[in-house]
DNA sequence: AGATCTATAGTTAGACT
DNA sequence: TAGTCTAACTATAGATC
């Protein structure tokens, strides 16, 4: 891909008030959320109380607080960390609620993190599924592969063929052994078919899914 | 340069409270100044008013404000006039807190929903990956399979063996064709190696991942 | 108005000083 | 306690949809 080298610092912006209204609005929104995220991380990592108040260019107020904005401001204004009047007036119930908020905030942060991981997994899986759906899609990509990649792919499939043969033989042996005592598990406990007969399985389609893999996933192309 | 791959993310830290006191103190100090810097940039770029209050782990207070902490807090409190009245104070705080809780709960519910979907995708992928990691795990499960399942598995693998052989032959043909014009793609455009030489690929391990699949995924056991 | 993408700029954990 | 360094991670401007 060719970059426009005539503009070396396209992404660097001057540290002065943004002139263009729309850009300012977008930047404000992005940076405000970035600021709140940083604050939330500071709370989580260091277990401290934080309050942030931001007025938008339009005068709208945004705030962030842990455990909440008011109590932190109050603590700041009274300069009395240990006895702040909030707890003096509102008692056990309030404490419970504070705990709830802390818990919710923590859970939320945790969830966001997990979600990120899961989403990445999900994307990869989507690729696998896509590969399975378009059965022969990857075949079409062969023409786009370089020689060395093709050779690697061929070698890999050859090896797969051999190994799969071994596995099939092993299974053959297992099946034959089992044939003598069809309903007796190795541990000697009698077992039934467990309703597996009703479970229709199309083996071919299952297998098809297996080898119509996406080369990108398995060969790092 | 050789990196220590056994520690893939030396610089990544878990998003939870830092256990080691000294590390926590250093991180708090660094991140606090980072937070204030971000806030100052937001003020400069967008010309907005901001106030930040942070209590250190030791209870010491740090603050940032533009134009001043007090004035911004005052502007915030003025929007909630009754906050200076102690009796009303709790009500306002409670109202805010209730709103916060509602918002958090809503966000949480939403996240849980999304997470469920993503997790389902992720789990399936995990199983595939797990199957790849524990190379022969599924072999151990053979002993626990019923006769009919074993037969289905055997048939499936036999079919796979045949089909893979066909694929390998197809690839052989493709490679041979390419051998005549190693650097000429079918569309007639000349192509280079595109740096694929530097891309070390262990084909066997990739393939191993393919056929050490989890029977549960492909045969519905 | 908001989401996504890409490439660059900026932040930071841990090791040292 | 605070500054420096480096490699890695994160934020984000601008474009696009």
Residue B43 has pLDDT above 90, yes or no: yes
Q: What is the mean pLDDT of residues A191-198?
A: 32
Helix axes A147-180, B203-211, angle to 10 degrees: 40
Chain A CB contacts of B201 under 8 Å are 152, 219-220
Q: What is the mean pLDDT of residues A172-194?
A: 44
Residue A26: per-residue pLDDT? 92
Residue A64 sits at φ, ψ, to 5 deg, of: -135, 140
> What's the mean pLDDT when you consider all of chain A?
62
In angstroms, the separation between the Cα of residue A71 and the nearest Cα of chain B is: 8
Residue A59 has pLDDT above 80, yes or no: yes
Inter-chain CB proximity B104 and A104 less than 8 Å: yes
Residue A112: per-residue pLDDT? 67
Return the structure tokens found at B84: 């200076």
Residue B46 has pLDDT above 80, yes or no: yes
Query: CA-to-C1' distance for A58 and C5, Å?
Result: 29
Alpha-carbon separation of residue A56 from A86, B29, B50, B79, B89 (angstroms): 28, 27, 9, 14, 25
Most confident of A141-150, B88-97, B149-158: B149-158
B143-184, pLDDT tens digit by residue?
Answer: 445 555 556 556 655 665 666 566 666 666 666 665 543 333
Nearest by CB to B118, which of A75, A85, A119? A119
Q: What is the mean pLDDT of residues A83-102?
A: 49
Nucleotide nearest to A22 (CA to C1'): C1
Q: Report the C-alpha gap between B184 and B188 in whole angstroms.
A: 6
Query: CA-to-C1' distance for B26 and D4, Å?
Result: 15
pTM: 0.49
Q: Report the C-alpha gap between B180 and A176 in whole angstroms.
A: 48
Residues with CB under 7 A from strand C: A 1, 3, 8-12, 25, 29, 38, 45; B 10-11, 13, 23, 26-27, 30-31, 33-35, 37-38, 41
Nearest by CB to B164, which of A72, A122, A164? A164
């Amino acid at each position: 891909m060719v970059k426009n080298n005539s503009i070396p610092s396209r992404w660097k912006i001057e540290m002065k008030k943004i002139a263009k209204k729309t850009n300012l609005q977008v930047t404000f929104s992005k940076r405000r959320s970035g600021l709140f995220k940083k604050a939330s991380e500071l709370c989580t990592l260091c277990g401290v109380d934080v309050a942030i108040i931001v007025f938008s260019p339009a005068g709208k107020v945004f705030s962030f607080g842990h455990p909440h904005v008011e109590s932190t401001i109050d603590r700041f204004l009274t300069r009395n960390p240990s006895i702040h009047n909030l707890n003096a007036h509102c008692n056990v119930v309030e404490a419970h609620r504070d705990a709830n908020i802390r818990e919710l905030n923590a859970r939320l942060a945790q969830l966001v993190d997990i979600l990120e991981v899961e989403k990445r997994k999900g994307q990869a899986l989507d690729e696998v599924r896509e590969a399975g759906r378009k059965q022969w899609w990857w075949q079409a990509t062969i023409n786009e592969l370089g020689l060395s990649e093709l050779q690697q792919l061929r070698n890999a499939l050859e090896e797969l063929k051999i190994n799969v043969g071994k596995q099939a033989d092993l299974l053959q042996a297992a099946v034959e052994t089992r044939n003598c005592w069809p309903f007796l598990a190795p541990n000697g406990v009698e077992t039934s078919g467990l309703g597996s007969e009703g479970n229709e399985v199309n083996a071919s389609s299952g297998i098809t899914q297996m080898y119509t893999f996406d080369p990108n996933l398995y060969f790092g192309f």
